[in-house]
A and B are shown apart, each in its own frame.
Chain A
Amino acid sequence: MTRLDLLSTDVEDSLRDTVRSLLTARCTPDRVTAVYDGDDSVAAPLWQALVGELGLGGLLVPEEYGGAGASAREAAVVLSELGRAAAPVPFLTSAVVATLAVLPSGDSDLLGGLASGSVTAALVVPLTAGPSFSPVARASAGRVTGAVPVVAGALEADVLLVPASDGLVAVDPASSGVVVSPVVSLDMTRQLADVAFEGASGRLLPVGPDAVGAALQVGAALLASEQVGIASHCLEETVAYLKERRQFGRVLASYQALKHRLADLFIQVSSAEAAASYAAAVAAAADPDLPVATAVAQAYCSSVAVRAAEEAVQLHGGIGMTWEHPTHLYLKRAKADQLAFGSPDQHLSALAELVDLPA
């Protein structure tokens, strides 16, 4: 366990500012809420802006393939901002997980497309699949068969990446034998799809047997930063609201019962921030502590994000329960995120083995 820098660098701060101002302008809460009513007109232009104007599609793609060659730390910064905005874009699924899964293949066409933003990809696994996931779909002689439920990023993808025993099979979602059925999702800001293959043909990308697990590992480690974004946003909004809202002739923030509740939440959110930045730093440094750091970050941050969103609903009172107020976007995202890339229970079980605390 080496000492890693847990504070953000100037470069990271500047990336944060850039992403935040783009999201503030183009990802307003009312337009995100509209996604639930079938108007997803915010999503595609937003994703195009993030990959086209900011080049975030290729953030983790090495420079030799036309990417930015950045590390997991920068990806964590982006994810934390996307969490703060509950942004409906496939950054985590395409630019992080799918990209990392493809990377060992050295497939310059696909990596070049991801880097330029012309290709969006999705790894075809259930959103709940954690680092120890084993494939559901089967591939033989380039033909893929099987059904995979609740896949994130599949609706936006130009390329579906199906984990198979001898590598990854890249399948065009428009080809015959592929059915991508949208799921009415608890969290519509990351809408899921049930994906079925019936002898669909694809191109085999040579990646080792560990590539998918490793990509999901980093995905889980960095999801923690998205969860921190959700949690910090909920805390900040709630603090601001309680400083304004008056009942019984006083602002709510002057009641000690509420002050202590917010202070407790602050302690948890800032602890989650530390856990997430450690996980990102460990992933960036390819430090052997990654499995432990990931399990710790997921077990902790996913619950803190849910807690912060739940507290936001309760402390906003009636308004927090309305469709009009954006808090529900965060509650739904936080609750779905809690199950993503392995549930807290699965991460705790993994941890038990990693740190020798057997059942």
Chain B
Amino acid sequence: MTTPSAEDTTADDLERRVHRLLEEHPPSTTDRLAFLRARFDAGLAWVHFPEGLGGLGLARHHQARVDALLRQAGAPDNDPRRNGIGLGMAAPTILAFGTDEQEERFLRPLWTGEEVWCQLFSEPGAGSDLAALATRAVPDGDEWVVNGQKVWTSAAHEARFAILVARTDPSVPKHAGLTYFICDMTDPGVEVRPLRQITGEAEFNEVFLTDVRIPDAYRLGAVGEGWRVATATLNNERVAIGGGADRESGMVGVVARTWRECPDRRTPALHARLLRLWVEAEVARIAGERLRQKLAVGAPGPEGAAMKVTFARLAQELSGLEVELLGDDGLRYQDWTMRRPDRVDFTGRDAGYRYLRAKGNSIEGGTSEVLLNIVAERVLGLPPEPRADKDVPWKELPR
């Protein structure tokens, strides 16, 4: 091929932009935050975002090359795992539904990590049935007054902003009466309490909202359109979940290492289980890779739900196997001290921690039971579960 394809031209252009950024802001002599801001302004933060908002309007897959070049040059990154909700959920939602002013105000500090985001969706009475949520938002002039309680909020104690879904009209059926907001977590009506989990630490929080005032300018999408906006957010969440692309990445790699390091603990029965799970993890990896190839040619579907069910089951079985494999040492637990980690870590700490933490994998981001319903209904076309509450005004539902 003698004429360069459009793809090659784009790749060359991207490389030039990366080199220019590195020349103008040498990582070794530039302050971390200053570099990140410059990277955002150069359109190299997330190339699939529009120009002026950290991107260049390119296809998403170009980002990997940019990240690799910057990594090689020793440039700092934005520590994406510290702001997973912001980057994976809030940002695409703001881009899809936000006003120009909202995009201008929020996206840059979100990407650089100056402002961490959290998600105020689930409630004690609204888990799988998120649309039944009861947190109320009542208009007052050009503001909304919000009261209610949210739960399972990771990073709430670090967050500057939250994406929030609240009920603005209780007199219509549950899906129709919701509105989506951006909530300032420094508002005096916001109280964050750590929610200690079975690992001993508190990755999540309960968030109590008492007369929190949100300007109408912080509303995302129209009044009553909250469910549609929230659905877009949650679809992005499922895209973000899924194992790495390399063989033996994730939990299976951890357990395989333990196996290699503990020859004296091996038994035929454990060996048979390990091999079976290794095969399943490898097949899940290949299936994930195939799904990514499918998504890249633009055929997104509910298959992500199937991947997440598999991922959760494997993480649980593998981490359980590892505790057994370790024998006496499997009975030691590193530390029950209450702490508030600043990031989610599925494979870190010790085997006991991994075993306990993995229990959440089939609950967070859609329970495996709900996801199996999604697969059954949207992939296989089986009849939906009966929904007695679908057409009833929310305020008349039994609670």
Q: Which of B275, B303, B381 contacts A357 (CB 8 A)?
A: B275
Write out the residue numbers on chain B whose beta carbons fall within 8 Å of the beta carbon of A357.
256, 259-260, 271, 274-275, 278
Pairwise interchain contact B376-A262, C-beta atoms closer than 8 A:
yes
Q: How far is the CB of B397 from chain A (nearest CB, A)?
A: 21
Asked if A256 meets B385 with Cβ closer than 8 Å, knowing A7-B297, A270-B303, A296-B282, the reply is yes
The distance in angstroms between the C-alpha atoms of A242 and B293, with both chains bound, is 32
Q: How far is the CB of B376 from chain A (nearest CB, A)?
A: 4
- Please provide the chain A residues from 22 to 38 with a CB less than 8 Å away from any CB of chain B in the complex: none
Determine whether B342 belongs to the interface, using a CB cutoff of 8 Å to chain A: no
Q: How far is the CB of B160 from chain A (nearest CB, A)?
A: 39
Q: How far is the CB of B356 from chain A (nearest CB, A)?
A: 25
Write out the residue numbers on chain A whose beta carbons fall within 8 Å of the beta carbon of B293.
5-7
Write out the residue numbers on chain A whose beta carbons fall within 8 Å of the beta carbon of B310.
267, 271
Q: How far is the CB of A42 from chain B (nearest CB, A)?
A: 31
Asked if A251 meets B375 with Cβ closer than 8 Å, knowing A7-B293, A274-B283, the reply is no
Q: Which of A239, A277, A295, A359 contacts B380 (CB 8 A)?
A: A239
Pairwise interchain contact B294-A7, C-beta atoms closer than 8 A:
yes
Write out the residue numbers on chain B whose beta carbons fall within 8 Å of the beta carbon of A259.
372-373, 376-377, 380, 382
Determine whether A254 belongs to the interface, using a CB cutoff of 8 Å to chain B: yes
Q: Contact string, A330-359, partner B, CB cutoff 8 A, digits 1/0? A: 000000000000000000100110011111
Pairwise interchain contact B382-A274, C-beta atoms closer than 8 A:
no
Asked if A352 meets B275 with Cβ closer than 8 Å, knowing A260-B372, A270-B306, the reply is yes
Determine whether A133 belongs to the interface, using a CB cutoff of 8 Å to chain B: no
The distance in angstroms between the C-alpha atoms of A166 and B385, with both chains bound, is 65
Write out the residue numbers on chain B whose beta carbons fall within 8 Å of the beta carbon of A260.
369, 372-373, 376
A-B contact count (CB 8 A): 112
Q: Contact string, B348-384, partner A, CB cutoff 8 A, digits 1/0? A: 0000000000000000000001001101110111110
Asked if A266 meets B380 with Cβ closer than 8 Å, knowing A6-B290, A6-B293, A348-B279, the reply is yes
Determine whether A123 belongs to the interface, using a CB cutoff of 8 Å to chain B: no
Which chain B residue has the least Cβ–Cβ distance from A345?
Answer: B272
Determine whether A141 belongs to the interface, using a CB cutoff of 8 Å to chain B: no
The distance in angstroms between the C-alpha atoms of A57 and B294, with both chains bound, is 32
Write out the residue numbers on chain A whose beta carbons fall within 8 Å of the beta carbon of B294.
7
Q: Which of A243, A262, A300 contacts B283 (CB 8 A)?
A: A300
The distance in angstroms between the C-alpha atoms of A89 and B183, with both chains bound, is 66
Q: Which of A3, A266, A359 contacts B266 (CB 8 A)?
A: A359
Write out the residue numbers on chain B whose beta carbons fall within 8 Å of the beta carbon of A5.
293
Determine whether A253 belongs to the interface, using a CB cutoff of 8 Å to chain B: yes
Pairwise interchain contact A254-B284, C-beta atoms closer than 8 A:
no
Write out the residue numbers on chain B whose beta carbons fall within 8 Å of the beta carbon of A270.
287, 303, 306
- Please provide the chain B residues from 251 to 292 with a CB less than 8 Å away from any CB of chain A in the complex: 256, 259-260, 263, 266, 268, 271-272, 274-276, 278-280, 282-284, 286-287, 289-290
Pairwise interchain contact B375-A275, C-beta atoms closer than 8 A:
no
Q: How far is the CB of B259 from chain A (nearest CB, A)?
A: 6
Determine whether B185 belongs to the interface, using a CB cutoff of 8 Å to chain A: no
Determine whether B131 belongs to the interface, using a CB cutoff of 8 Å to chain A: no
Determine whether A299 belongs to the interface, using a CB cutoff of 8 Å to chain B: yes
Q: How far is the CB of B347 from chain A (nearest CB, A)?
A: 18
Asked if A267 meets B259 with Cβ closer than 8 Å, knowing A260-B372, A296-B283, the reply is no
Instruction: Specify the main secondary structure of chain B where it touches its partner.
Output: helix
Determine whether B207 belongs to the interface, using a CB cutoff of 8 Å to chain A: no
Pairwise interchain contact B382-A348, C-beta atoms closer than 8 A:
no
Determine whether A272 belongs to the interface, using a CB cutoff of 8 Å to chain B: yes
Determine whether B247 belongs to the interface, using a CB cutoff of 8 Å to chain A: yes
Which chain B residue has the least Cβ–Cβ distance from A3?
Answer: B289
Pairwise interchain contact A1-B247, C-beta atoms closer than 8 A:
yes
Pairwise interchain contact A352-B271, C-beta atoms closer than 8 A:
yes
Determine whether B309 belongs to the interface, using a CB cutoff of 8 Å to chain A: yes
The distance in angstroms between the C-alpha atoms of A88 and B22, with both chains bound, is 64
Which chain A residue has the least Cβ–Cβ distance from B386?
Answer: A254
Size range of the chain B interface in the assembly? 35 or more
The distance in angstroms between the C-alpha atoms of A352 and B272, with both chains bound, is 10
The distance in angstroms between the C-alpha atoms of A258 and B81, with both chains bound, is 38
Asked if A6 meets B289 with Cβ closer than 8 Å, knowing A263-B376, A356-B260, the reply is yes
Write out the residue numbers on chain B whose beta carbons fall within 8 Å of the beta carbon of A3.
289
Q: How far is the CB of A338 from chain B (nearest CB, A)?
A: 14
Write out the residue numbers on chain B whose beta carbons fall within 8 Å of the beta carbon of A263.
306, 372-373, 375-376, 379-380
Pairwise interchain contact B383-A254, C-beta atoms closer than 8 A:
yes
Write out the residue numbers on chain A whose beta carbons fall within 8 Å of the beta carbon of B268.
359
Write out the residue numbers on chain A whose beta carbons fall within 8 Å of the beta carbon of B282.
275, 296
Which chain A residue has the least Cβ–Cβ distance from B279?
Answer: A299
Q: How far is the CB of B287 from chain A (nearest CB, A)?
A: 4
Which chain A residue has the least Cβ–Cβ distance from B368?
Answer: A260
Determine whether A197 belongs to the interface, using a CB cutoff of 8 Å to chain B: no
Determine whether A278 belongs to the interface, using a CB cutoff of 8 Å to chain B: yes
Pairwise interchain contact A300-B280, C-beta atoms closer than 8 A:
yes
Determine whether A10 belongs to the interface, using a CB cutoff of 8 Å to chain B: no
Write out the residue numbers on chain B whose beta carbons fall within 8 Å of the beta carbon of A262.
376, 380, 382
Which chain B residue has the least Cβ–Cβ distance from A279?
Answer: B286
Asked if A278 meets B286 with Cβ closer than 8 Å, knowing A254-B383, A359-B266, the reply is yes
Asked if A243 meets B290 with Cβ closer than 8 Å, knowing A263-B372, A357-B259, the reply is no
Determine whether A64 belongs to the interface, using a CB cutoff of 8 Å to chain B: no
Which chain A residue has the least Cβ–Cβ distance from B294?
Answer: A7
Write out the residue numbers on chain B whose beta carbons fall within 8 Å of the beta carbon of A278.
286, 290
Most chain A CB within a 10 A radius of its CB, from B256, B280, B290, B373: B290
Pairwise interchain contact B260-A274, C-beta atoms closer than 8 A:
no
Pairwise interchain contact A355-B278, C-beta atoms closer than 8 A:
yes
The distance in angstroms between the C-alpha atoms of A270 and B382, with both chains bound, is 17
The distance in angstroms between the C-alpha atoms of A260 and B382, with both chains bound, is 10
Pairwise interchain contact B309-A267, C-beta atoms closer than 8 A:
yes
- Please provide the chain A residues from 271 to 319 with a CB less than 8 Å away from any CB of chain B in the complex: 271-272, 274-275, 277-278, 295-296, 299-300
Q: How far is the CB of A339 from chain B (nearest CB, A)?
A: 18
Determine whether A53 belongs to the interface, using a CB cutoff of 8 Å to chain B: no
The distance in angstroms between the C-alpha atoms of A357 and B321, with both chains bound, is 14
Pairwise interchain contact A275-B297, C-beta atoms closer than 8 A:
no
Determine whether A264 belongs to the interface, using a CB cutoff of 8 Å to chain B: yes
The distance in angstroms between the C-alpha atoms of A348 and B297, with both chains bound, is 34
25 contacts between A and B (CB under 8 A): A6-B289, A7-B293, A243-B382, A243-B383, A254-B382, A259-B373, A259-B376, A259-B380, A260-B372, A262-B376, A262-B380, A263-B372, A263-B373, A266-B376, A267-B306, A271-B286, A271-B310, A274-B286, A275-B282, A275-B283, A275-B287, A295-B279, A348-B272, A351-B278, A355-B256
The 6 A-B pairs of least Cβ separation, nearest first, read: A259-B376, A274-B287, A263-B375, A254-B383, A6-B290, A263-B372
Beyond the given A3-B289, A6-B290, A300-B279, please list 6 additional residue pairs across the A-B interface where CB-CB is below 8 A.
A239-B380, A254-B383, A262-B382, A267-B306, A295-B279, A352-B275
Binding site for A on B (CB under 8 A): 247, 256, 259-260, 263, 266, 268, 271-272, 274-276, 278-280, 282-284, 286-287, 289-290, 293-294, 297, 303, 306, 309-310, 369, 372-373, 375-377, 379-383, 385
